[in-house]
Chains A and B, each alone.
Chain A
Amino acid sequence: MATLPATAETLIARFGPTLNFPRPEGIPGRDTPDAVVKTHCCFCGMQCGIKLVVKNNRVVGFEPWEEFPFNGGRLCPKGVQRYLQNDHPDRLMHPLERAPGRGFAPVGWDPAMERVVSEIRRIQSAHGRDAFAMLSGVSLTNEKSYLVGKFARVALRTRNLDYNGRLCMVSAGAGNKKAFGLDRASNNFSDLARAEVVMVCGANVSETFPTLTHWIWQARDNGGRLIVVDPRLTPIARTADLHLPVRPGRDSALYGAILHQLIKHDWLDHDFIANHTTDFDQACEAVADYDLAWAERVTGIPQAKVLQAAEMWGPARTSFLLHARGIEHQSKGVENVLSCINLVLATGRIGRPYCGYATITGQGNGQGGREHGHKCDQLPGNRDIENLEHRRYISQVWGIGEGDLPGKGLTAYELMEAIHRGEIRGLLSICFNPLVSLPNSAMIREALDKLEFYVAIDFFLNETARHADIVLAGSLHEEEDGTVTTAEGRVTRIRKAINPPGDARTDTSILLELADRLGAGRHFRYQTSEDIFNELRVASRGGTADYFGITYQKIEENMGVFWPCPEEGHPGTPRLWEDRKFKTPDGRAHFHGVAYREPEEVTSDEYPVILTTGRVVSQYLSGSQTRRIGKLVRQYPEPLLEIHPALASRLGIRERELVRVTTRRGAAEFPAQLVETIREDTVFVPYHWPGKKSVNQLTSGHLDPISKIPEFKVCACRLEPTGQTAPSPEESRAWASP
């Protein structure tokens, strides 16, 4: 039974989140470090270069890494404070075993491993192999992602492996594969610098990817104009040449209407369309009726602005289109992505300097992780788990029979539903906190409670891991060597700075021992992370995400190598499609006819307001790490309900009044923040907080039919003022809300 072993309050008191602050008198050893290690920030897909200052097996500070080409020393507040996740009071130093009534008790590695293996065996023999599932995450390096993929298929032999990238950029991945036959940002971000128009679609760059701002501002320094599509006036949108405050969930209508204008005014690259693409007619057909009046009606954006966007985008000589979770976290995420790609293809501005297109991958290793490891339908090298040829190749690399390689499993949210239905009985999780990050958290909690056995590998006891039977103390980012692939497709080196403290072990060694105990040891003989990477290179060889020509040495010498890099002599590929040879079967880029459809949940009399969710700059994802760093918590202490004053006054809501927000999944209370920078029909709540402060109690589990991404960005809610004024933010303990 995976119910909580003690009250949440008891667990919080023992395992945190505790706020870690640097000592005012300074951290001893910072001025006489044992080492200064060049590595990357552990947060977000930008993977900014950073140097960690190490003393006595502790990370005691940082130095900007000014030579690293993407960020040149620039960092966001999370990067500046990331060193404080180290030497943290909440760090798990030894394995834990559930102790009902008390919480958790320390246990030795041997009995812990023994228990895990016997439970896996018990569940799999009684209910089938697929009744034991694994959930993973893309804060893990390429090596660990690859290892997790192989571990689940070869050692656990379950088809039910998925990952938190499912909440990240799977819509973009699916869209890119459909349109280009390959899932990677088409350009590196330096191509932004001289783009005449930059269109940012559903990406709060200033808060979620602050260091990318530099490149967008550079475009503007060079005379480029900026279009930002966002229901909120975000800091990046404030000075934009054009801000399109789209009604949440109506994005594909906007891009369809812009395409309509491009066609109408013949702002098209006919040569490119004719020679390098297919299905343009379908795209045209789909938007034939999407005139400006229609667009205004659906998207809520004035006609003139839609036209202006087309006028800016259409005739430009160079451009860059960026999108992120805003359009991807929808039940039509893939369609939104395709409608953006249509705009890029129609103007033929791709595969040339300063002509670019990219999704801004969110998680640290969102890019590399999805290529090589833990995605339920994929094998290393971005291979398809249902493609016989791909299966044969990987089986041969792994030394197993093709018939022994499991097939496609359930996606993350579906997997939790299967647990809820009792079909999946056991779970191994690493680097994933679904109780905070998945939508409809009441269902997730019930599902966790139903698990017969749950083992978590983690360095802090996150909210989900509180339900575990066994917790294996794993490693932090700075405790293992490896590589990460950034949002640009640049493979970079993560360098080990210190050893895991106490009895904690590296994630790799934990997985290797489990594999061994499960009887698959001969398939997992690695001495170093580089050994794993070298096998990954072979496994990815010939796939679309081909890493074969990338070595640790080459990465270090060049400060990163862009895949594809098929041969050792190959310099890597910072910009895709210069040869116009797309990776689709016919070698052409594909338009898609995107007919607009509504989001799964629309407003009604009962739920009249649109609720959308997102992030704040000081927090990262489910906050397992950032809710433990004092100053990051203080910067934005509690989730606020952003609401337009006009809507607030209609509902009688005052500044800082606690507002009860109710959806079909549940209700929660948040203090109101009255701002004119949000649409009148929409409210916004950021999602990083747990328990009663989690907005994911309210979000819906509607999934995109192709990518299976949940629709975090749109649901219908009802707002009720409670009459109570929220206590001052300084008093909030939202970071550790039970």
Chain B
Amino acid sequence: MLTTLNPVALLTATVATLSLVLAIFVGSRSLGNFDPALIAYLFGCIFACFGVVYRYTVWLQRAPTWRYFCHGWRLFFSGKALVYGWELTRHFVVNFLSQRFILRRGKAVGVGHFLMAWGCLLAFAVTFPLVFGWIHFDLKPGGIDVYEIVVFGFKTSEFRLHSAMATLIFNALNWSAILVIAGVMLLMRRRLTHAGQIAVQTFENDWLPLLLLLAISLTGVGISLDYKFMEGRAHQFMAITHAVTVILFLVWMPFGKFFHIIQRPAQLGIAIYRKAAAEGPQAVCPHTGEAFLSRMQVEDLKAVTRQLGCDFSRRGGGSHLNYSPQGKRALLARAHLKARQESGRFFG
């Protein structure tokens, strides 16, 4: 078993996990601010950290990924930080904050994903610091209705109980759950009615993540509703189910569809690469006579395919990869025509 493990990833993941543990220890003031009720969540997080970093490292080591990864950073530090910085900001706003590209894939998926994603991100922002003991709320000494927000052991700001601020903060997870539920509903409806989605969807990849998020959100909101309307009679059920689903989510994070939350920001690197590619010299297809791709990417592809053990170089020099997709198709059609012609018959 150990031999199949990736040593680099193992090392990185171990270092990252230890660092997290250290950060938790320091950030919670030697666990002083740590809430023991959240211990199960904590272990989930630590496992997720290890898994995610391990998988990310394995992923980075793939030849094409590593090439883009290095290339992206090289470009970023190539002295054009201003240009790329601006490009990154633009890309971040358009594709990460607004997720425009998903909207363009379809209205339902765009809106649904937007709500769900922001619900999740908001929940992460609240949950992780709370679980790590990095943040907590203290009753201000000498009163009964003023709370202080304590971050890494430092008092930052305070708010009055029953104020709007208090409603916002104490219910942050409920707000995020409502966003997620709305998003999940939209996406589920699409998965139930869109024939194209129905044809290609799988339970593990497409339904399980939605169901998991729905369970987490419903039980999360359920805890609050239970307090308010049912005098906590369902508390145990809600709390346990919530904990189980959240931990499932954390443990599954490195393996399943949720890994894209971690992976996706790599697209920022692609944005830089594409910017550089667009500004650099272009490759012209020998068949169509038109530019079709940057020369940088064509050369990168040749190198990557060679690394993967593929050799597209043609007799008498040149490469099949020098041709545009249309050119490649024409080459094939011509080769087929030639083979047919030489055989003396096109048919039969």
Contact = CB atoms under 8 A, between A and B. Distances in A.
A25 interface: yes
B195 A223 contact: no
Contact of A30 (B106, B107, B195): B195
Given A25-B106, A25-B107, A220 B194 contact: no
Contacts of B106: 24-25
A223 B348 CA distance: 7
B196 interface: yes
A55 B196 CA distance: 18
A325 B7 CA distance: 74
A26 interface: yes
Interface in B17-37: none
Q: Contact residue range for chain A?
A: 10 to 19
Contacts of A239: 346-347
15 contacts: A24-B106, A25-B106, A25-B107, A25-B108, A25-B194, A26-B194, A26-B195, A26-B196, A31-B195, A217-B347, A220-B348, A221-B347, A221-B348, A222-B348, A223-B348
Which 7 A-B pairs give the minimum distances between C-beta atoms?
A220-B347, A239-B346, A31-B195, A221-B348, A221-B347, A25-B106, A217-B347
A222 B348 CA distance: 6
Contacts of B196: 26
Contacts of A217: 347
Contacts of A223: 348
Contacts of B195: 26, 30-31
Interface in B317-348: 346-348
B107 to A, nearest CB: 7
B61 to A, nearest CB: 38
Contacts, number: 21
A129 B106 CA distance: 61
B335 to A, nearest CB: 16
A223 B344 CA distance: 12
Contacts of B194: 25-26
Given A220-B348, A223-B348, 19 more contacts: A24-B106, A25-B106, A25-B107, A25-B108, A25-B194, A26-B194, A26-B195, A26-B196, A30-B195, A31-B193, A31-B195, A217-B347, A220-B346, A220-B347, A221-B347, A221-B348, A222-B348, A239-B346, A239-B347
Interface of B: 106-108, 193-196, 346-348
A221 to B, nearest CB: 5
B190 to A, nearest CB: 10
Interface string A21-34: 00011100011000
A433 B61 CA distance: 66
Interface in A2-57: 24-26, 30-31
Contacts of A221: 347-348
Contacts of A31: 193, 195
B6 to A, nearest CB: 42
A401 B49 CA distance: 98
A24 B109 CA distance: 13
A690 to B, nearest CB: 33
A137 to B, nearest CB: 37
A706 B348 CA distance: 42
Nearest to A224: B347
A239 B348 CA distance: 13
A426 to B, nearest CB: 52
Interface string A218-258: 00111100000000000000010000000000000000000
A10 to B, nearest CB: 35
A25 B189 CA distance: 14
A373 to B, nearest CB: 40
A31 B194 CA distance: 9
Nearest to A222: B348
A159 B20 CA distance: 97
Nearest to B190: A25
Contacts of A30: 195
Interface string A129-148: 00000000000000000000
Interface in A668-708: none
A10 B347 CA distance: 53
A728 to B, nearest CB: 14
Contacts of B348: 220-223
A312 to B, nearest CB: 15
A31 B196 CA distance: 10
Contacts of B107: 25
Nearest to A223: B348
A700 to B, nearest CB: 38
A651 B196 CA distance: 53
Nearest to B194: A26
A222 B106 CA distance: 48
Nearest to B198: A31
Contacts of A26: 194-196
A222 B195 CA distance: 41
Interface in A193-228: 217, 220-223
Most A C-beta atoms less than 10 A away, residue of B106, B193, B194, B346: B346
A30 B198 CA distance: 14
A306 to B, nearest CB: 23
Contacts of B193: 31
A606 B347 CA distance: 46
A148 to B, nearest CB: 42
A223 B345 CA distance: 9
A70 to B, nearest CB: 20
Interface in A133-170: none
A640 to B, nearest CB: 20
Contacts of B347: 217, 220-221, 239
B125 to A, nearest CB: 33
Nearest to B337: A239
Nearest to A31: B195
Nearest to B341: A239
A223 B195 CA distance: 43
Nearest to B104: A24
A239 B344 CA distance: 11
Nearest to A25: B106
A223 B347 CA distance: 8
A239 B340 CA distance: 10
A317 to B, nearest CB: 18
B280 to A, nearest CB: 27
A25 B195 CA distance: 10
Nearest to A24: B106
B112 to A, nearest CB: 13
Nearest to A226: B347
A643 B196 CA distance: 44
Nearest to B348: A221
Contacts of A222: 348
A220 B106 CA distance: 46
A221 B346 CA distance: 9
A30 B196 CA distance: 12
A361 to B, nearest CB: 26
B89 to A, nearest CB: 30
A222 to B, nearest CB: 7
B43 to A, nearest CB: 43
B342 to A, nearest CB: 14
Contacts of B346: 220, 239
